[in-house]
């Protein structure tokens, strides 16, 4: 019983060795590009200085979504 399960649970390296296949080549690690946080912060600040209405639009949209969601919940549960 134990001998049969070892055949079923065999790692790839052992299986390749038993079949006479050479070991698998190691893959190279993928290097992610580094982000320049200072440059990104400067771009965001420049955009906000150029268009100072943007934060008000985002806050306004968030409040509209919140009120709309509350209205939908109250309407669906019959609270109103």
The pLDDT of residue 8 is 61
The rounded distance, in Å, linking the Cα atoms of 23 and 41 is 47
DSSP single-letter state for residue 78: T
Over the chain (80 residues), the average pLDDT of each successive run of 10 is 56 86 83 91 96 96 97 87
Q: Model pTM?
A: 0.48
Show me where the domains of the chain are located: 34-80
The pLDDT of residue 7 is 53
């Amino acid at each position: 019983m134990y001998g049969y399960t070892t055949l079923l649970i065999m790692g790839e390296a052992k299986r390749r060795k038993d079949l006479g296949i050479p070991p698998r080549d190691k893959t190279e690690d993928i290097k992610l590009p580094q982000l320049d946080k200072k440059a990104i912060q400067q771009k965001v600040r420049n955009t906000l200085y150029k268009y100072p209405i943007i934060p008000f639009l985002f806050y306004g949209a968030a409040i509209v979504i919140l009120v709309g969601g509350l209205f939908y919940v109250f309407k669906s549960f019959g609270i109103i």
